Every structure is written in structure tokens, then in C-alpha cells.
Amino acid sequence: MDSEMIARLAYLGLLLVAVGGYLVVEFRGRIGHALRTAAAWGLIVIGLMAGYGLWQDLSRDVLPRQAVIEGGDIRLPRSADGHYYLTLDIDGTPIRFMVDTGASQMVLSLADARRLGIDPARLAFIGEARTANGIVRTARVTLDNVTLGPHRDARLAAVVNEGDLGTSLLGMSYLGRYSIEITGGEMILRR
């Protein structure tokens, strides 16, 4: 032990003596009450420490995040609902997509189209798409700059879904630019 460690231990000892002395004087004759109060505060502190420690693990499961690894591979963890989600940067705006290998096109929800500055009232919804919820009308749009990690694509075709779509869908028109591997609860996209 060096002199700095001895000084720290001495300071800690003096602090414990001061706090302990106060507690003895304050709770003299009421030791049961003092022990209950100390136990309650101890449990509160332990609970806060456990909650903070577990949040790191829970945040990965509740809010899984995509990652770009060496070589430009994109790793997507499987979400708690069993789907894979991917965030693309479109013209400087992050848009979250559900990866859907059963969809043929990149499909924007009305809300995401508005976030990108696309006014649905000015679109011609003349296309149709067959979905699990039936047939919906679609409108074609062109996305100027689409970025995923180190990969950038210009002038990509997409459609805006006129129906009630909770999240945008990333279909094969975009996914076909990558090789896809699903293993161990994660999807890996390589280009």
C-alpha cells in the first residue's frame, strides 16, 4: 500500500466515525428504528444499482441497434417481436424500416413520406399492392440519396402506401443490392 492509499483509507475511516457518531447520538435508545431505516435505505441503494446494471442488458433487447462492422457488413439483431429493423438515412433524415423479404419494393408509410418532405396530397396513388391487409393504393416516388453505413445509393425508386402502415417496409428492390445471411439471431447484409 502506498501513502496515497493510506491517506484515502484514513479519510474514509474519519468519515465513517463521524457518520457513525451522529447516528449513535441521533438514534440513542431507538436502535430498532435505526436498523429499519438503514435496511430500507440499503435496499433502495441496492435496487438502484441493480436497475442501472440491468438497463444495459435490457436496452439491447428492447431497443436493438444495427451495427456496421469491418468490411462494411451491416449486422441487424432480431428484435423482440421476431423482425429485423434497419434505419436508412434518406436525404439526411433517418427512417426506420422493417426488413421484409416478402415485399418487392421499398414502401414508405404516409408519416415517413411526410418526414421526407413528400406531400401525400400531391401524389398520384395509381398503383396497387397486395398486402396481408388486402389491396392498397400506392404512389411512386424517387429517393435522391439513400445511405446505409458506408453504402450510398442515388435515385432509388420507392412507393408510398396510402393505407394504414405503422412502419415503412424495406423490400427486395433495396435488399437485392446485398447478400443476406441470417444466423444466430442476427441478419448480416454484405455488399
- Taking the chain (191 residues) in runs of 10, the rounded mean pLDDT of each run is 86 86 80 82 87 67 65 86 92 94 93 95 90 86 93 94 90 94 91 88
Last residue of a domain, one of 62, 82, 106: 62
pLDDT tens for 28-44 read 788 788 788 888 888 89
Q: Are residues 18 and 103 in the same domain?
A: no
Q: Are residues 169 and 107 in the same domain?
A: yes
Q: Are residues 139 and 45 in the same domain?
A: no
Q: Are residues 80 and 55 in the same domain?
A: no
pLDDT tens for 85-114 read 999 999 999 999 999 998 999 999 999 999
Q: Are residues 112 and 45 in the same domain?
A: no
Query: Residue 186 and residue 154: Cα distance in Å, rounded?
Result: 27
Q: Identify the pLDDT of residue 60.
A: 52
Question: At 138, which CATH number?
Answer: 2.40.70.10
Last residue of a domain, one of 62, 87, 112: 62
Q: Are residues 38 and 97 in the same domain?
A: no
Q: Identify the pLDDT of residue 58.
A: 60
DSSP conformation class of 186: E
Please give the tally of structural domains in the chain.
Answer: 2
Q: State residue 144 phi and psi, 5-degree precision.
A: -70, -55
Question: Domain range for residue 32?
Answer: 3-62
Query: Residue 99 and residue 83: Cα distance in Å, rounded?
Result: 7
Q: Identify the pLDDT of residue 65.
A: 67
Q: Are residues 23 and 96 in the same domain?
A: no
Q: Are residues 98 and 159 in the same domain?
A: yes
Last residue of a domain, one of 19, 39, 62: 62
Query: Residue 33 and residue 65: Cα distance in Å, rounded?
Result: 48
Amino acid found at 185:
G
Residues with Cβ within 8 Å of residue 170, at least 6 apart in sequence:
86, 88, 97, 98, 99, 100, 103, 106
**Does pTM top 0.85 for this prediction?**
no
Q: Are residues 55 and 121 in the same domain?
A: no
Q: Are residues 127 and 102 in the same domain?
A: yes
The owner of cell 436508412 is: 88
Q: Identify the pLDDT of residue 62.
A: 56
Q: Are residues 109 and 42 in the same domain?
A: no
Q: Are residues 105 and 118 in the same domain?
A: yes
